[in-house]
Each structure stands twice: as C-alpha cells, then as structure tokens.
Structure 1
Amino acid sequence: MRILLIEDEKEMASWLMRALKQSGIAVEHAPNARLAKALIVGGDFDVIVLDLHLPDQHGFELLREIREQGLHLPVLILTAQGSLQDRVEGLHRGADDYLTKPFEMPELEARLVALHRRSQGRSHAAIRCGSLRFEGNHQTFWLNDSVLSLTPREHAALEVLIARVSAPVGKSKLAAKVFPQDSMAGPDAIEQVLHRVRRKLQGSDVRIVTVRGLGYMLEPLKIPPGALPETT
C-alpha cells in the first residue's frame, strides 16, 4: 500500500512516516496543498491522509478540488478539528473516513487497510443494531441518521460489541481491543469507557448490558409506542 500524507506539522509528519514505514506502508509526504496537488497528478497512491489546517489552503477546499477532478482515491481526514459538525462536513465533502488527533497507530493502520480494501472492490456491509448503524467502509457510527461522536476508545469498544450483537463479549477481550498497548489500564478502565458509551446511547433503542460472568453485550430494545427505554 502507498499513501500520500498531506500534513504541515513537521514532527507529526516525521513520526507518522516512520511508524507507517515500519508497518510496510510506503509514504509520500506533502507539507502543503500545492505540492499535494502535484504529487496526486503524478503519483499512484492507494489512500490519501489529509490534515485540514494546511498553510496555503484549507483541507476541505483541497478535498473538494480532488473530488471535482473526478479522482476517487480514498481520503482519510486526520486532524485535531474533530467536532461533530466538522466530521459530518468532511463526510459530505467526499471524505471516506475521519480520525481525530490524538489517535493510536493501530487504529490508523487498520483504517488505512480498510480503505485500501474498499478501493479494491471489497466493501463491508453496514452492521445494525436497532437505530445504531456501523458503516464499515467509513468506520463511522450513526444513531438515528446522525453521526455518533465517539472517542477512539469508545469507538473501539462499540465496534467490538456491534460485531456480536446480542452475544456477550468477555471483559478481558474487550479491554484488549480498547487498550491494545496500555498495560497500565486498571481493571475498571473498560467500565469507564462503557459508561460513557452508555450515556451517548441513552434515550435510543439500543443499550449495553452487563452479563454476569460473561462480559458485556449490545442489544436492541423493543420500545412500546410512547414509552422511554430503560437507562440502567
């Protein structure tokens, strides 16, 4: 896989290039939009990783130009500008995925692989649980047709649970997915993450339940008309 990294922060770009190359991913770097455009025309890339705050042009405008030229390369927006409004705008403008800083390298690498696989014609169908939907191609959760804003750890936990709807996932397995490189995470850390996810699902027809002795489970609720779902 060969990617184009469009990032103006020198330290961030250097770190990303080293980490990705260690994983066998070829990287070409552009610190601004002008050079990025030249590289896109002359290069053969599988995925573009795009920062929004470039010195000569906003990333959204560069993305618009890329799509207007008929280029269908997968684009992953990688930025600290991570409000829900920014995420939705990025997707509407043609981004294929959106990852906010700070992030963990395993998650970035997994998303790059998923985007590359999708571009090769191997797409992932959406997974649903009630009104909650996970778009595997975009690595995005939607709740009642709105993007669900999640931190990287919340996203990782919910992705594991929605892959096994109505089946329990062990606490240790879930923790290993959410904290893959954090040996300092205490036994209650995963419960804190799930508590935050539960709050974001509150009021919907989906809930995370604790199954004694087995772990945690995501399940849809059958809500009678006019009734509110339980929040326990």
Structure 2
Amino acid sequence: MCVKGISVLHRAGTVSYGLLESEEALEGLRIEVGQSGAPGFNYFHNNFGMPYDFLMRSSVSSGHPLFVSFDTCGRMLGFARFEKVSDNLEKIHRGKKSLVRHSVHLLRSIEVHPSFRNMGVGRLLFAIAAGHLYSNVVTKPDNPGAARFFRQRLMFDTICDTDCTVSLRYRDHLILPYPKARLLLRQLAGNYPRMVMPELIDSYESLRFRSNMGKSIPRDDIVTFERYLTTSRHLLDRKLSEEIEQFLETLCA
C-alpha cells in the first residue's frame, strides 16, 4: 500500500517503512491508541496525555525527521522521531570541500504497536532511519531495559569524555556513530535475512526445495526470484550472495 506524503524506503512482506514528508500523510494512516483493554500506542497518551496525531503533526511541522512503519491497511505499526542537533562540519582546503564530521541527530522517541513488538519492526525501522539520515545518532533511554536494547541490539555505546562529536549537553546520552549507523541495516540483513528480506528468502527456499525434489520450476517463478534478488542484492552478505548466485546459475543452465 502507498500512502500519499510518505516516501517509502523499504518493504518487508506486508510492512512498509518510510519517511513522512507532510502532515497530510497522517490522514492516510490509522493510528490505534491503546484504551479500554484494546492494544495500541499508549506511552505518550498515558504519560503526557498527548494525542498521537498532535505529536506526529508537531514533529513534521517542526521539520524533524519522522519515520513510520505501516501495513497494507494503512495501520501504523511503529514510528521513530528525530531532531537534528548539529550540522555536518566541513572544511575547504585549496578550493576542495571535505567532510570533517557528520551531523548529529537526537532520537527523541521510538515506539512500536504492542501487537507487533518482538518481531523486529522497531529494529528494522530504526536501522532504515539511521541509514537514511547519514548521521551520528544519540539518545537517552529512560529505563535500564531500553538502555540494554540500544546497546545490545542497535550497537549504541557510551559517549567518552574525549569525544568531540557531540556537545557537552549530550555527554550523558548513548551514541551510534555514523559508520555503524550507515551499516546497521546491512548487518541486520546478515543476521536476520528473513526479517529484512522475507520475499527473497521465501522465494529462494521454495525454489531450492523444489529443485532438490527434482521438480520443474516455471520460468515466471525464476523471474520473480530474480526481481526480489535485484531489489535486495545490496543487503546480502558475501556468503549468502554467492550461495544464491550459484543456485540461480543452476536454474538458468
């Protein structure tokens, strides 16, 4: 499903991940708020009494990057709000411009619909956002469990006293440096290929099973597999890439 005003950056099965480009895009999203025993987004509603529609619109109108994940029915499954706190630092030497230090974005909040937690939606959403921002990312978890999640699952680390990447006001935050942020999505794809590229992995395993059983494979199925491979090739690690390419050669032989 396409929602007007959302730039889709990645699709994994029935879930799309993208960047909100206008407040009007929120009209195409269904935001379920948890109430009366029904599951839904509840952190800001319960702790601050803040309507989610207002939270989203305020972020977009302020120019803060807001990334969302949503299903084929337009139901929002998760969101991540960022704020740019420093720009790229560049220098010009002999008329040539070079980047000295990447910008810094503050992750203000990330929340996943309760019905879709522990499925990788939050990790994938953050990885896509961090890669798109092309930036260092800092955040300050509000509880020990969140801190463990950022450290163990998203590769954040403590900001050392000698780090000049961020200002002093963020020294008690955690940081995901730019090089790691750029590679996080590919690392997730290497560790959890089915989570990041479900269509490709399902197609590959199905074709491989039929091939091993000696069954004929229609040309249309091979073309579909090649299409999935084309869109996901940049996320494959060397081992899986070589394995798939060799298998494809045997199919086309």
Query: TM-score, normalised to structure 2's length?
Result: 0.29
Higher fraction of helix: 2
